Each structure stands twice: as C-alpha cells, then as structure tokens.
Amino acid sequence: MERIAVVGVAQTPYERRKREQTYYDMVYDVTRRALEDAGYSLDDIDNVITISNDFWDGRTISSMAVQEAAGAHDKNVSTVEGDGTFGAFYGAMRVLAGFRTTLVVAHSKGSEGDPRFITNGMFDPIYHRPLGIDAIASAALQASAYMSRFGATEEQFALVSVKNHGNAKRNPHAQLPMDLTVEDVMRSRKIADPLKLLDCSPVSDGAAALVIASESAAKRARTRPVWIKGIAHCAEAYFLGDRDLANPLALKEAARKAYGMAGITDPRKEIHVVELYDAFSYMEPLWLEGMGFCEAGQGVRITEMGTTAMGGEMPVNPSGGVLSAHPVMVAGLARIIEAVLQLRGEAGARQVEGARTALAHGINGPCGQSHCVWILGGE
C-alpha cells in the first residue's frame, strides 16, 4: 500500500449535553481546528467525508445539513452512515484512489433524541423491533453468552469500568473521569442483567475530525505524520441469533487482514497501545480476544493481571474509552485520534511511553456486527 497518513486531528470535549452548540456548530469547530492542527488551509482539502445518522440527527439525509460546516462548499463530499472508523476508512481509500487529502468529520448529539427509540430502530421491524429490544438489552444478551461460555464474572467486567473511568481522569476531552471501585460498579443501578449503570457508556454530545493525506501532501503538513499501516473491516450476520455472540468472528477477520497489511505477526509484542470500542465493560475483554491479544476467554484474565492498565505491558483505552464518552459514530474517530496523539507523543498525562504502533477500533450494528481495525505507526 502507498504511504498515507493522518496529519491533522481535532475533537470537542465530550459532554452530556452541549446546549450552546448545534451540531452544525460542532462540525465547524472541529473542522477548523483539524485544519489548524495540520497546518492546512481549506484549499489544501480535496474532498470531504461527513459521518452522520438520520435517526440521531432527527433529520433525513442529515449529511446535507453539515456539509458547509465541514468546509465542503464547492468540494467533492460524500457521506458514511456508521461509526467514524468506517468513515475514515472511506476517507483513506479516497486518498489511495488519487485525492491528495481527505477531511473526515463526524458529529452526534445523543442528548437530542431518545437512544432507546433510536437503537430499537436498528433492529428488524418484523421479528425484533416489536419486542422492544435496544442497544443495551442486546449487549446484555452478548454479555450473558460470554459469561456462560467462559465463566467470566460481573466483577471482572467491573474492573474494565474502574480502569477506563480512571484513565479518563488524564483526558481533558473525556466526559466521565471517575475514581471507582469494583464495589461501586457492582452496586450501581441494574439496567439489564448482567449490565449495571457503570458497565454502560453514557449518552454524549460531541464531534471529531481528522485529515488524511498522501505521502507528498503529508510533507506539507505542520504535524509529524502518523502513518496508516493497515486497515480492514468485516461484517457478520444481522440477526443476533444467527451469530455466536461470544466469538467475534468479524473482528478476527478484520484484525487478521489489518495485521497482514501492516506486517504484524505477533500483535501482543508489536502493538504498544490499543484504543477499542468499549460501549459496555464486557466488550473490552471480548474484543481483545477477537484481536488476538489472548486466547478466547482470557480477556478478563489479562485485565485482572494489569496487562491492559496504564503502565502495563499493553495499555488499552488510555483515553478512558467509550465508557467515558460515547458520542455515537464520533467514538470511532475519537479512538483513531487518541492513537494519533499517542504516536505523536502528544497525549499529555496519559502518554504511553515508547508507543510506536497503535491499534484503533470501531464497531457498527448491534453487539459488534461489523468491526473496523486500524493499525497506525509513528515511523
């Protein structure tokens, strides 16, 4: 693959409700700042990808309403309705196809709609939606399947919440920096067994943007380029019951392809920091297994051993992860942005020392129906 790089990033602080900003305002804000970060003017941007969803925005063809805020006036603009990692994937492909630069921008205001109605809307209207199933209840089914398969416990899942909310204390963009104990998580309000309030990510507002450039365009950027070494995504069955929920096959395939592109043969040794989509506490160990960092069922074990903690062998979610801020669709871009900051050595108090290769990850669909894996390198 030709060398392409992320050369500019920006994100809003993530908050429960941004009453003072419309989503247009947020998109304008992060677009301006991503350009500033890259040291580019709008003239340096060849094409724009916006990432939005009609249900979350409460507006059909929601992308049309933010194109000018994204600097796309008079430009080639296209849209991805899905997680930011998938939108950025499309942006990267456009650079590989011949554009010099792509600006990718995502926004979401979870505060404006009702996440239960909206996530119920992702399910089949004939067989599943009338049952009232939503993102949290379907995730709880996956957690149940995972626990029964491998004997994982709620206390082990709680450790992930404790770790990630603790990491968020060193991330000024995070919404929920918290000092928690396993007991705090265990005593939090039951939502859908085995998930309790502190096993679940919050409702969030926010936006994020990044600029992807060809090698020659990257030379003109102000920042040290962070190279895209491998990217892949893969999907599996739509119906929950058609999948083995405790075995994320689509993630295994996406990771295998991304590692192949990046020349990674031993991910545990060669990847120094991971930012993954922990919409619920149990997802972090399950996705770590899918990424091949440990054997099936051992994800909770490496969490217990401190492997994934700050200062551990392979810190996972130094940003605080999705548990600490969940602007839907933006969250995957936030994972890439954190990986970029880590590789630039600009992650401040949460910097993982010696991070040269990072993995960023996003999901689409209930319980990780599809996964997108990014391998980024600072060299």
Partner 1 sequence: MEDWLKDVKPLTVKGQIAMPYTWSVGETGSSFLVALRDQTKILASRCDACGTVYVPPRKNCPKCFTDIQGSMEVGPEGTVEAFTIVRQGHPLHPAKAPFAYVLVRLDGSDVGFLHIVRDDWDKLAVGCRVKALFRAQRTGHILDIDTFQVI
- Which H helix or E strand runs over 30? helix 23-38
Say which amino acid occupies 19. R
Closest to partner 1 by CB, 98 vs 241, is 241
Closest to partner 1 by CB, 42 vs 191, is 191
Contact 345, 263 (CB under 8 A): no
Helix 154-167, helix 283-290: angle, nearest 10: 90
Kindly state the smallest distance separating residue 113's Cβ from partner 1, in Å: 9
Kindly state the smallest distance separating residue 188's Cβ from partner 1, in Å: 12
DSSP 225-248: PEEEEEEEEEE--SSGGGS-TTS-
Closest to partner 1 by CB, 58 vs 263, is 58
Kindly state the smallest distance separating residue 352's Cβ from partner 1, in Å: 35
Kindly state the smallest distance separating residue 117's Cβ from partner 1, in Å: 7
Kindly state the smallest distance separating residue 292's Cβ from partner 1, in Å: 23
Kindly state the smallest distance separating residue 195's Cβ from partner 1, in Å: 8
Closest to partner 1 by CB, 158 vs 310, is 158
Cα–Cα distance for residue pair 101/187, rounded to 1 Å: 49
Cα–Cα distance for residue pair 47/160, rounded to 1 Å: 39
Closest to partner 1 by CB, 140 vs 234, is 140
Q: What pairs with residue 200 in β-bridges?
A: 280
Closest to partner 1 by CB, 44 vs 253, is 253
Q: Where are the beta strands (DSSP E) in the chain?
A: 4-11, 47-51, 76-80, 101-109, 190-192, 195-196, 205-214, 226-235, 273-275, 357-364, 370-377
Q: What pairs with residue 106 in β-bridges?
A: 51, 208
Closest to partner 1 by CB, 21 vs 31, is 21
Kindly state the smallest distance separating residue 128's Cβ from partner 1, in Å: 6
Closest to partner 1 by CB, 259 vs 287, is 287
Query: How many angstroms from the chain centroid is the CA of residue 281?
Result: 14
Kindly state the smallest distance separating residue 60's Cβ from partner 1, in Å: 9
The single-letter DSSP state of residue 158 is H
Tell me the backbone φ, ψ of residue 217, rounded to 5 degrees: -70, -35
Q: How far is CA 273 from CA 90, 156, 292, 306, 347, in A?
A: 24, 21, 14, 14, 12
Cα–Cα distance for residue pair 169/125, rounded to 1 Å: 41
Kindly state the smallest distance separating residue 290's Cβ from partner 1, in Å: 18
The residues of the shown chain that bind partner 1, judged by CB under 8 A, are: 19-20, 58, 116-117, 120, 125-128, 130-134, 137-138, 140-145, 148, 189-195, 237, 239-242, 245
Closest to partner 1 by CB, 234 vs 245, is 245
Collapse the DSSP code of 374 into the 3-class scheme (helix H, G, I; strand E, B; otherwise coil) and give the result: strand
Kindly state the smallest distance separating residue 14's Cβ from partner 1, in Å: 18
Structure tokens at 326: 């969940």
The single-letter DSSP state of residue 339 is H
**Is the CA virtual torsion 118, 277, 20, 17 positive or negative?**
positive
Closest to partner 1 by CB, 89 vs 282, is 282
